[in-house]
Structure 1
């Protein structure tokens, strides 16, 4: 046999002999039975010896095949074990975090450089999705969820309790009537959340009985879209303070009235109970708590 080993053919022969079937070996390796048969035939031609005998009952090892198979089986087993050990070592220092796009963009991602500086050996992978991940089924270590904190079978750690603020572009406010009370917001187009509920709740919390205007206007299912529409001067948006910080600090938006109101949901770090025993998971949650406890910047108002 030449210096270059026919690894595909050797693996095809090893799996066929181990499983006793071309079809089973093909399924194991993700190829067709014809491809397995061709690889074995090429290996037999190269070695100048018949390795397998095919029958209706499956395949049987010849004398040459019986001498070759145990060594190959041990060899491929050692390769698989070495790869599994490497994958386990890599996975131990890799952290997959899932959260919604708005929170990832406005809060988590801008702070990740700090975590990487503190823990250079931990690799963080962020999955930004609006879909609710199943921590019992998917390869996600921590989910940053926006809700009430009740997640059966999971551990949840409270992080942030955001408040809602009315924000708008300075250009829009400069062309319209002055806003001195919550009721004055009704003189402007209102940009709605997906449920069209936040404006009515905010106005009622500040002593204003909503009228038909309170549910009018385009609705958006993400704060990122609400912020973009508000920055373009399309109306006043009621958004979470932690989502609006960048736009407010840049001056693209201003707080219309400094009357924050608690959002219905808070942010929680959620994980499987046994996952909290992993050093990267516990380090990331400790870091999240530290970041959540940092003082919020002063936000500009009209």
Structure 2
């Protein structure tokens, strides 16, 4: 028991062995793929053994890695079970939530204080991740995701379906052409989503022919970055209204034109069917619905 065990490296090895993918292991652990690769490399240097070989589908265990993998998998399962027992013996309950960084920063986190005030016995941990976390690992209790609602193997509840609205900084709007109809937005730089699809679809929905101009401009893969670019006066951004409202109320942004566009995408609550009736989880889900009803 005197040795200092490289628990993070051993966990990275175990999760990579279980999933057959460094990227998937990183999502489960809530770290980057580079961090997982580094921990595996440190473990290989310490032991002097190659633990994985690369394949066209990911990575697979070497013979040496396969020899110790089952024991380590059981060991981490026992650690998780012991932690669950300790948490259950305490009056405090822990709830781990996985959600998108933009949703966490702009909607969930600013409201969490109300839930904690109402339920001081429940400790909430928020993990921000763009990928869908595997709830079957037992570490995350609930995921909040944006999509079409097709999530096999999970209990799925719709939370909210925000509309996209065009927003711009007041300074840029005051110094540029007047916007009286949707087509007038094309006179400004357009800030794009990562697929460069939202502006084209919004203009089409507003009855404007979507020319190639609708897909020009800087692209961002997070709404939070789009908001910051719009606040900096770099152009007009199409943002979900739940993110735009506080920025407009604070005077950092203004509506370019009042033409909301409801997309097919929505936010969903994902849980495992066997966990949906846990008291802490039920309280949190009920609170989410209450908050969503008032935005």
Same fold (TM over 0.5): yes
Give, in whole Å, the separation in 1 of the partners of 2:89 and 2:216.
54
> Residue 140 of structure 1 corresponds to which residue in structure 2?
140
> Residue 254 of structure 1 corresponds to which residue in structure 2?
254
User: Is the CA contact (8 Å cut-off) linking 1:136 and 1:272 kept in structure 2?
Assistant: yes
The alpha carbon displacement at 1:97 in A equals 0.3
Give, in whole Å, the separation in 1 of the partners of 2:174 and 2:122.
48
Give, in whole Å, the separation in 1 of the partners of 2:83 and 2:94.
16
The alpha carbon displacement at 1:215 in A equals 0.4
> Residue 198 of structure 1 corresponds to which residue in structure 2?
198
Say how many residue pairs are matched. Answer: 219
User: Is the CA contact (8 Å cut-off) linking 1:106 and 1:244 kept in structure 2?
Assistant: no
> Residue 231 of structure 1 corresponds to which residue in structure 2?
231
1:216-295 matched pairs, under 5 angstroms: 216-294=216-294
User: Is the CA contact (8 Å cut-off) linking 1:170 and 1:253 kept in structure 2?
Assistant: yes
Structure 2, unaligned stretches of length 5 or more? 3-45, 47-80
* Cα distance change on mapping 1:84 and 1:116 into 2, 3 Å: closer
User: Is the CA contact (8 Å cut-off) linking 1:97 and 1:143 kept in structure 2?
Assistant: yes
> Residue 27 of structure 2 corresponds to which residue in structure 1?
none
Q: Look at both structures and tell me which one has the larger radius of gyration over its CA atoms.
A: 1
Give, in whole Å, the separation in 2 of the partners of 1:195 and 1:89.
48
Following superposition, which runs of at least 4 residues in structure 1 exceed 4 angstroms of deviation? 81-84
> Residue 52 of structure 2 corresponds to which residue in structure 1?
none
TM-score under structure 2 normalisation?
A: 0.70
1:156-167 matched pairs, under 5 angstroms: 156-167=156-167
> Residue 117 of structure 1 corresponds to which residue in structure 2?
117
* Cα distance change on mapping 1:92 and 1:121 into 2, 3 Å: closer
Give, in whole Å, the separation in 1 of the partners of 2:84 and 2:140.
19
* Cα distance change on mapping 1:193 and 1:117 into 2, 3 Å: same
* Cα distance change on mapping 1:92 and 1:117 into 2, 3 Å: closer
1:15-94 matched pairs, under 5 angstroms: 85-90=85-90, 93-94=93-94
Give, in whole Å, the separation in 2 of the partners of 1:210 and 1:292.
33
The alpha carbon displacement at 1:237 in A equals 0.2
TM-score under structure 1 normalisation?
A: 0.69
User: Is the CA contact (8 Å cut-off) linking 1:240 and 1:263 kept in structure 2?
Assistant: no
Give, in whole Å, the separation in 2 of the partners of 1:83 and 1:119.
22
Give, in whole Å, the separation in 2 of the partners of 1:89 and 1:198.
49
* Cα distance change on mapping 1:105 and 1:82 into 2, 3 Å: closer
Give, in whole Å, the separation in 2 of the partners of 1:227 and 1:168.
9
The alpha carbon displacement at 1:85 in A equals 3.4
> Residue 174 of structure 2 corresponds to which residue in structure 1?
174
The alpha carbon displacement at 1:88 in A equals 3.5
> Deviations along 1:8-53, whole A, 9 cap, x unmatched?
58xxxxxxxxxxxxxxxxxxxxxx9xxxxxxxxxxxxxxxxxxxxx
Give, in whole Å, the separation in 2 of the partners of 1:112 and 1:118.
10
User: Is the CA contact (8 Å cut-off) linking 1:92 and 1:280 kept in structure 2?
Assistant: no
> Residue 130 of structure 1 corresponds to which residue in structure 2?
130
**RMSD (CA atoms):** 2.1
